[in-house]
Amino acid sequence: MSDTTPSPRSTMFSRVFLDHPATVNESYLQHMAFALGFCFWLAVAAGAALIHALVPALCETTASRILRKLVARMEARH
């Protein structure tokens, strides 16, 4: 008779790395790719907002346009 109870270590691994991606029907790597792409565009939006803060005539709608697209992408996933 073998014990099939998961070890606490594998349970923690699953909880930390696999459970959340599974809630959006993605693997860990698919979720990481989406999150990194999201991170990239947030950084671009932050840069545009910084440029706009320094020179108001530049990047007037860039950050808000990027954020609207990101929100639409995120809402389309759920």
63, 52 Cβ separation under 8 angstroms: yes
pTM over 0.95: no
- Dist. CA 18–CA 9, nearest whole Å: 13
Contacts of 70 (CB under 8 A, 6+ apart): 38, 41, 42, 45
Q: Is pLDDT of 73 > 70? A: yes
CA distance 7 to 52: 52
* Tens of pLDDT, residues 20-62: 999 989 999 999 999 999 999 999 999 999 999 999 999 999 9
